Amino acid sequence: MTSPTVPAPTTPLPADHPLVDGRTSTTPLVRALRGDRPDDGTTPVWFMRQAGRSLPEYREARAGTAMLDACLTPPLAAEITLQPVRRHQVDAAVFFSDIVIPLRLAGVDVEIKPGVGPVMDRPYRTAEDVARLTEHTLDDDALAPIAEAVRLTVAELSAEHRYAGRPGPETDGSVPLVGFGGAPFTLAAYLVEGRPSRDHLAARTLMHADPETWARLTAWTADLTGRFLRAQVLAGASAVQLFDSWAGSLSLADYLAHVAPSSTRALAHVADLRVPGTDEGVPGIHFGTGTGHLLPAMRDVLRTAGITHPTVGVDYRTPLDEATALLGGDVPVQGNVDPALLGAGWPALEAHVRDVVARGKGAPGHVVNLGHGVPPETDPTVLTRVVELVHAL
């Protein structure tokens, strides 16, 4: 006789959470992430890196403030998060932060160097290095600036950025906020390399030379990112995205053996959160660059973590209809306008956007996005025009 399955424990979202009180539960973004296509065919759209260097108001707001300091100043982080919603009328805000913020909050000496990216005080490549790293923890007090920035953002979205009058179904809800975090592999790669790398050779070497140390490192980065995501959700984010910048450098075998377990661990930090009295959890998106060969594995990470509504982000290298077929046709997709076309002139861009929307129709839900982030030199008016086109379609 087999033992009955014991349901996994769940944690109710706060009563004033936007998914609980209805502010975001029927918005186009949340519906799409849940695999629900409105009868009128409305397709939501937002852009990775929509808050940032492409906007003159961002450059003005952040003048004289270092990147990571801006992320940890709640009023400034909230303002930057809101800027593209005001300008472009996108269907989601994405929390303005950086994937290395959890490292900074845990006491790691890291900075963003202009023109370079995240740079550590030193590479962490030995068992002793990792043992010292993993003595650092990330508690609620350290995460307080993140929670406060999210609360400020959600309050402003609820007050001023509502769907009434927008294309698509009218609701009384507010624009949802997408929480953001870096995948454990990408964080670990930065730590091992000490700075951005083209091939992540040192990280991949450690992965095989000392699997135990690698597993300890990625479990630690998973918990940092997981707590970072959880703080955002409990403060009001309506969905989360796990962003794996460098997973495309891995073979499928290495991904499954050395990366998927830690990504699953990170997402499990939010998988237990539920709308009270329902089985509705927080939708989760998993995105990586150069990961066409990993898409089913990334889907399985979401499912294994317990995310009730998994969505796979697809970069610009894989057409959405092909991605949907690889994924089995039963999960929503996000993507995948090629960022290069933002500067290629409107005729080429319009045709491309129409093609992306058409190819996305085979999935249960589709969120239009870029197949990577907004390039800093992008003309903001082009992004606004893309939003208008997607809403018109």
Residue 159 has pLDDT above 90, yes or no: no
- Using pLDDT thresholds of 50, 70 and 90, give the confidence band for residue 162: low
Has residue 4 been placed in a domain? no
- Domain total for the chain? 1
pLDDT at 195: 85
In whole angstroms, give the CA distance from residue 275 to residue 164.
24
Domain with 340 in it: what CATH number? 3.20.20.210
Has residue 219 been placed in a domain? yes
Half-sphere exposure of 99 (CA within 13 A, CB side): 25
Range of the domain at 156: 11-392
Pairing status of strand 177-182 against strand 93-94: parallel
pLDDT tens profile 8-33: 689 999 999 999 999 999 999 999 99
In whole angstroms, give the CA distance from residue 91 to residue 368.
10
pLDDT tens profile 250-291: 999 999 999 999 999 999 999 999 999 999 999 999 999 999
Has residue 6 been placed in a domain? no
In whole angstroms, give the CA distance from residue 367 to residue 311.
9
pLDDT at 196: 82
pLDDT at 2: 43
In whole angstroms, give the CA distance from residue 318 to residue 195.
28
In this structure, the number of other CB atoms found within 10 A of the CB of residue 185 comes to 31
pLDDT at 30: 96
Has residue 3 been placed in a domain? no
> Which helix (H) or strand (E) covers residue 175, if one does?
none
Measured in whole angstroms, the distance separating CA 216 from the mean position of its chain's CA atoms is: 24
- Name residues whose C-beta falls within 8 Å of residue 286's C-beta, 6 or more positions apart in sequence: 183, 241, 242, 244, 263, 267, 298, 299, 301, 302, 310, 311, 312, 313
CB distance 179 to 267 below 8 Å: no
In whole angstroms, give the CA distance from residue 358 to residue 352.
10
- Which residue numbers are catalytic? 49, 53, 62, 98, 190
Has residue 5 been placed in a domain? no
CB distance 242 to 181 below 8 Å: yes
Report the percentage of the chain scoring pLDDT > 70.
94
Q: Which amino acid does the sequence have at 190?
A: Y
Has residue 208 been placed in a domain? yes
Has residue 383 been placed in a domain? yes
Beta bridge partners of 177: 93
What global pTM score does this model have?
Answer: 0.95
Report the percentage of the chain scoring pLDDT > 90.
88
pLDDT at 42: 84
Which two structure tokens, joined as six digits, stand for 132? 């010292």
Residue 312 has pLDDT above 90, yes or no: yes
Has residue 36 been placed in a domain? yes
In whole angstroms, give the CA distance from residue 359 to residue 346.
20
Mean pLDDT of all residues belonging to the chain: 93
Mean pLDDT of 97-113: 94
In whole angstroms, give the CA distance from residue 64 to residue 56.
14
Beta bridge partners of 337: 370
- Name residues whose C-beta falls within 8 Å of residue 95's C-beta, 6 or more positions apart in sequence: 77, 81, 149, 150, 153, 177, 178, 179, 180, 232, 237
Residue 1 has pLDDT above 80, yes or no: no
Give the length of the chain.
393
